Amino acid sequence: MWILWAVLAAVSAALVIVLTKAGLKNVDSSLAFAIQAIIILLITWGVVLVQGNFSSWKGIEKNAWIFLLMAGVFTSLSTLFSYKALSMGPASYVATIERMSLVIAIVLSIIFLKEKLTWQIVVGGTVMVVGAVLIAMSDTSQ
């Protein structure tokens, strides 16, 4: 079932890139993210309330709070950087370079989460890097 959720996340992320690029015309990238953050806040807290998970926040351990708050900071930075890049460059190029985060996540997961490195992960990560380099080096004027 996790694959379905992952595919839905990928489709949603792709739509974010395209819709944001379209919406950034004559709009500051930071302002665009601030507008979208309001929607993010409303939807996510709405889901928490509908699921009845609001009272669970009291049971979150200190380390989890630290990790989640740090992840929130990096989510914000990642999105701000992505939107700035989208305001300046083609969406297909920006998205490709930005998605190099997948390779970085693989490396960090192996180092910090002790996840297993397999030949499939090595080949897949290598293909992602090669693809990103090819796209980044292509002519953006076309």
pLDDT in tens, 24-65: 999 999 999 999 999 999 999 999 999 999 999 899 999 999
Is residue 7 included in any domain, yes or no? Answer: no
Residue 140: per-residue pLDDT: 58
Band of pLDDT at residue 141, cut at 50, 70 and 90: low
d(CA 8, CA 3): 9
Tell whether 81 and 16 lie within a shared domain: yes
Tell whether 139 and 77 lie within a shared domain: no
Is residue 1 included in any domain, yes or no? Answer: no
Is residue 50 included in any domain, yes or no? Answer: yes
d(CA 66, CA 68): 6
Tokens 């889901």 label which residue? 47
Is residue 128 included in any domain, yes or no? Answer: yes
Domain ranges, residue 20 = 12-86
Is residue 30 included in any domain, yes or no? Answer: yes
Q: Rounded to two decimals, what is the model's pTM? A: 0.82
Residue 103: per-residue pLDDT: 93
Give the H/E segment covering residue 141.
none
pLDDT at 88 exceeding the cut of 80: yes
